Structure 1
């Protein structure tokens, strides 16, 4: 099974000239208030920042380009206007009573960086996909670890390319929203950049809708928060990172492993297969526990009451299925598929309410990640039609195929133009070799395995 092709972009080296970062405040006065986060918002996993990146080509037919408009200036202006509607993003996270986090809507501003580079979009290759070269040049970050307390909740860098295109990079505090909810903010920003007077979907805070009930009722067992050792032995083993591409041929090869009568989505199929391959590669003891944890967007599940269309808080949950290494690796792939499907189907509205009650009662919890394949399918995140006036992006999504322990299914095309997705895993080096061998067993061409030293 072939890994994501490594194009000339991988060896591309360039520097970006950044102007001094500036804080952009709302264009009009906004309420000065303290806003509570929901209990789904505030847990350990989301006390971090998330990155996204969008590449745009110079579009001669665009109305904005015909006016020789500068994307930096237009997006900067639209950002100030967008923050009028999404004014909590101009505030700061503070610690409130009993350690509960709140948003101080003080209008201090989001951070914006103007930048230029002497490379063109074509220098990145014909079909863009993670990993991107010199990513640290395109994504602005503050010096040292970016904390979430008293720091900007949103950072944007717009980098002009010498071809007339540009790169739009966003870093946002996960406590404020998930990637799907960030779509609402970005869509408003794009609409106002194109000249709209107001968002097509008004934003809604309403975090009380996903806060603990009174009294709380924890009605489900939430294995995602099982007790875990903070110092996993694997933390001391050097890790490597591998990127793998899955196109029509690779997916068809995996489908042939299950009976035709089995109804399974591509995401379920690949999650199940990769979970088995990863477990085989790690060589755990036969009776050792192995887990799969998947990210589920629960927005459509919440109906009593329903979430407003413009609700932009965290609405993702991470259900788990558990078995033993022997069961997973010795039984047919259909067994793993049933476990993945069971994890997905376990997410009901009561499951979400129970989770809010658990987190509201115990406070922030740490996810159990040891012995766990943690995966998220971001192929339908909604960023691929984000038009700032230069047409849709050439690439829009995560800048990497994983975020720490979380592996992402990122949509892209390979060098032949075939649609598919790229995914990254981080494993000890011997396990990575075995993982690649497991995948190559399904392909006549074998695996073109390239790994990169992890910075973990």
Structure 2
């Protein structure tokens, strides 16, 4: 088809629909929040079925949701020692837009694109944001309508105010309120403000990062990308491959992670004796005494380690699965204050300092089954949910939610984990595994 054109209306500020009684008070950021503050993350929801007055109804639902999620309508304030959210109700940014194509035409173009060529397509559907500043809203939303009657909702948020679970819960609330519900079905929970009299939101004590997670974050922060940068690739892992691995007895995530880790290691490793690292995120709420209503950052960061040669070519793919599973099974140990197991894990991760780089390490985060696929603005759940990968410094893959528009049983992955010169080989390894 001809060039896809998206015409955007001027952006507006959306504020809470009711006065927020904690306006002017401090919203406390946890150590995990501070580690991710000003980092933009984006999700795009594609709805092929028409939403009644999509721009206005979603804007209204967003305004009502900000009453319950009032810190998201605030602004960053304070210095390094007192970094917090000023809950001033200044609001979030919102715009409507229209496209000259259908959603299927757009998604076909995304599926056919390779490496960074897919990004100009997705950039039309979201606010452009390399990094948040203190003056920026924490949420930027664009609702784009298409010729087919469908819509795509692009949401960029400051990762410091919510993790993936949290923003999924927030968007579910926006959908419920847009459909006419008087209140969200789940009352949101966040860190305590310095005035907890507000009746719309429960609060909890600030979660503390366990020592292992702090050490893992330090290892990640020291990773350097390849000199040529990282290319963005849209990958589909076939259902036949996933099912073949799962017959050996493992979860969907373990199967997908094993495929990505083995195939990537085969094409990027420089020394088979070098340790290969796979870092992935895990929901840590239950280990911190929290439930799914808590929307701040609350993740563990397990690290699977083995020699590059073993990951790439050693034994069956189920051996790689077993390495990943052991890292998952150790997550409860991350939150224990002492003991030989914790000491050993900290020593092991300390030994990795200075050995981590593009040729032997990358991360995976899974967006499956955390609520992204359950958002409904009045026309049912989305046909597709896609992450938009910003300019990250460390290699990563994002496993997309399973939605109605995807191939049955297949898994869509947005890869930002290989340099452009390795992209074709990475695809080929997955296709022939």
TM class by shorter chain equals 0.7 to 0.9
Residue matched to 1:294: 280
Q: Does structure 1 residue 280 correspond to structure 2 residue 266?
A: yes
Q: Helix, strand or coil for the counterpart of 1:312? A: coil
Structure 1 gap ranges (5+)? 1-10, 60-64, 359-367, 443-456
Identify which of 338, 347, 354 aligns with 2:322. Answer: 338
Residue matched to 1:211: 207
- Whether the aligned pair in 1 keeps the contact of 2:384 and 2:404 (CA below 8 Å) is no
Q: Normalising by structure 2, what TM-score?
A: 0.81
1:337-367 deviation digits (Å, cap 9, x = unpaired) = 2221121112117528799xx9xxxxxxxxx
Structure 2 gap ranges (5+)? 193-203, 347-355
Q: CA 1:245 to 1:413, structure 2 compared with 1: closer, same or farther past 3 Å?
A: farther
Please state how far the C-alpha of 1:113 moved relative to its aligned partner.
Answer: 0.6
Q: Does structure 1 residue 180 correspond to structure 2 residue 170?
A: no
Please state how far the C-alpha of 1:55 moved relative to its aligned partner.
Answer: 1.5
Please state how far the C-alpha of 1:42 moved relative to its aligned partner.
Answer: 1.8
Identify which of 151, 154, 160 aligns with 1:169. Answer: 154
RCO higher in 1 or 2 (8 Å CA, sep ≥ 6)?
A: 1
Rounded Cα–Cα distance in structure 1 between residues aligned with 2:388 and 2:336: 29
Q: Normalising by structure 1, what TM-score?
A: 0.77
Q: Does structure 1 residue 222 correspond to structure 2 residue 215?
A: yes
Please state how far the C-alpha of 1:193 moved relative to its aligned partner.
Answer: 0.8
- Give the alignment's Cα RMSD to 1 decimal: 3.4
Please state how far the C-alpha of 1:238 moved relative to its aligned partner.
Answer: 5.1
- Whether the aligned pair in 2 keeps the contact of 1:224 and 1:320 (CA below 8 Å) is no
Residue matched to 1:452: none
Rounded Cα–Cα distance in structure 2 between residues aligned with 1:298 and 1:92: 26
Q: Does structure 1 residue 14 correspond to structure 2 residue 4?
A: yes
Q: CA 1:37 to 1:329, structure 2 compared with 1: closer, same or farther past 3 Å?
A: same
Q: CA 1:430 to 1:118, structure 2 compared with 1: closer, same or farther past 3 Å?
A: closer
Q: CA 1:247 to 1:438, structure 2 compared with 1: closer, same or farther past 3 Å?
A: closer
Identify which of 87, 96, 99 aligns with 1:105. Answer: 87
Rounded Cα–Cα distance in structure 1 between residues aligned with 2:277 and 2:309: 12
- Whether the aligned pair in 1 keeps the contact of 2:29 and 2:191 (CA below 8 Å) is no
Q: CA 1:417 to 1:12, structure 2 compared with 1: closer, same or farther past 3 Å?
A: farther
Please state how far the C-alpha of 1:254 moved relative to its aligned partner.
Answer: 4.5
How do 1:27-426 and structure 2 match up within 5 A? 27-30=17-20, 31-32=22-23, 33-43=25-35, 45=36, 47-59=38-50, 69-96=52-79, 98=81, 100-124=82-106, 131=118, 134-141=121-128, 145-206=130-191, 209-212=205-208, 218=211, 222-226=215-219, 229=222, 232=224, 234-237=225-228, 239-254=230-245, 262-302=248-288, 306-332=289-315, 333-348=317-332, 350-351=334-335, 370=358, 371-399=360-388, 405-411=395-401, 417-423=407-413, 424-426=415-417
Rounded Cα–Cα distance in structure 2 between residues aligned with 1:395 and 1:88: 29
Q: Helix, strand or coil for the counterpart of 1:164? A: coil
Please state how far the C-alpha of 1:204 moved relative to its aligned partner.
Answer: 1.3
Q: Which has the higher helix share?
A: 2
Residue matched to 2:350: none
Q: CA 1:125 to 1:301, structure 2 compared with 1: closer, same or farther past 3 Å?
A: same
Rounded Cα–Cα distance in structure 2 between residues aligned with 1:25 and 1:220: 35
* Number of corresponding residues: 399
Q: Helix, strand or coil for the counterpart of 2:374? A: coil
- Whether the aligned pair in 1 keeps the contact of 2:384 and 2:406 (CA below 8 Å) is no
Q: CA 1:268 to 1:349, structure 2 compared with 1: closer, same or farther past 3 Å?
A: same
- Whether the aligned pair in 2 keeps the contact of 1:40 and 1:210 (CA below 8 Å) is no
- Whether the aligned pair in 2 keeps the contact of 1:413 and 1:421 (CA below 8 Å) is no
Please state how far the C-alpha of 1:331 moved relative to its aligned partner.
Answer: 2.3
